[in-house]
Every structure is written in structure tokens, then in C-alpha cells.
Amino acid sequence: MSKRLIYRRKKDVKWSPEIIKKFKKDYGSYEDAVLAQMYRTTILKVDSLANEYALAKSKKKIKGTRMIHWTDSEVRKLKMQYPDISNLEIAKDLRKSVTAVLSKASNLGLKKSKRYLSSIYRKNVSDGQYKEPFSDKNT
């Protein structure tokens, strides 16, 4: 199949949360052209979604990938931001994947602050994702 056909605009699928979740899972394992065919969209849309969700390809599955190198200024910025900012926001700011941010933070021994983790927990409880421990709501 020629690249001309792959880049041609196709009827876009509806991007429901379930489809986006599957796309995120598939993204690391397939080349963009294959993903475009699977999701009946363009390579540009695949690239756009990957940037939006800070996704990265699996180095094990794709030949010719290289290690992501971090500059000293990027490492300093990561150290400053990591305790109190979401991994997705950091990834977008540094133009790296969330996986790269998590890996580098782990290698550096960085941890999220208790204040940040508490705020995430409170948000999830208020959104109904988690129940308060030992509350009347659990019974």
C-alpha cells in the first residue's frame, strides 16, 4: 500500500474514552501507519493523539529507536517539578513521554510530595473513584 493512501483523509472514528484507552495500549506496539489503518484515521491524527497523551513507542518492538537523553537543564526542571506536578504535565513541558519521566524520576529517587498525593486522593474521592476509608458511605 502506498503512503499516499495512508495519508488520505479517512472517515474518523468516534474517540470515546474506551477507544482512547485501547489506542494508548496499542500505541507502543504498532507503527503509526498500522495504527492509522486500525483506527480508520490519518497518521497525522495518530501523531497528534500521541503528543496529546505524551505516548512513546516501545523500544523492544520497534527497530532503530534510540535512548532518550536528558540534558542537565531537563534533569533540574524534573527535580523541581516532580514532587508537585502531574507526570503528564511534566512530560508535555519537557516534550518527553510519561514513561520517560517516570523512569528518570525513579532512577533519580524522586517522589511525589505528600501534599500532592493528598490532593490527588481528595480529587478522586470527590469524583467518586474511591470511597473514604472507614466512612458510613462504605456500608
Domain range enclosing 37: 3-52
Label residue 139 by pLDDT band (50, 70, 90).
very low
Q: pLDDT at position 70, please?
A: 86
Close Cβ partners of 52 (under 8 Å, ≥ 6 residues apart):
none
Same structural domain, 121 and 79: yes
Same domain? 121 vs 87: yes
CB-based contacts of 118, cutoff 8 Å, min separation 6 = none
Please name the residues in contact with 65: beta carbons below 8 A apart, sequence gap of 6 or more: 57, 59
Number of domains in the chain: 2
66 in any annotated domain = no
pLDDT mean over 49-78: 75
What was the pLDDT predicted at 56? 78
Q: Rounded mean pLDDT of 104-129?
A: 86
- Average pLDDT in the 51-78 region? 74
In a domain, 62, yes or no: no
CA 29 – CA 61 distance, rounded (Å): 6
48 and 77 housed in the same domain: no
Shared domain for 18 and 48, answered yes or no, is yes
Residue 1: per-residue pLDDT: 47
Please determine, for residue 25, whether its predicted confidence score (pLDDT) is greater than 80.
Answer: yes
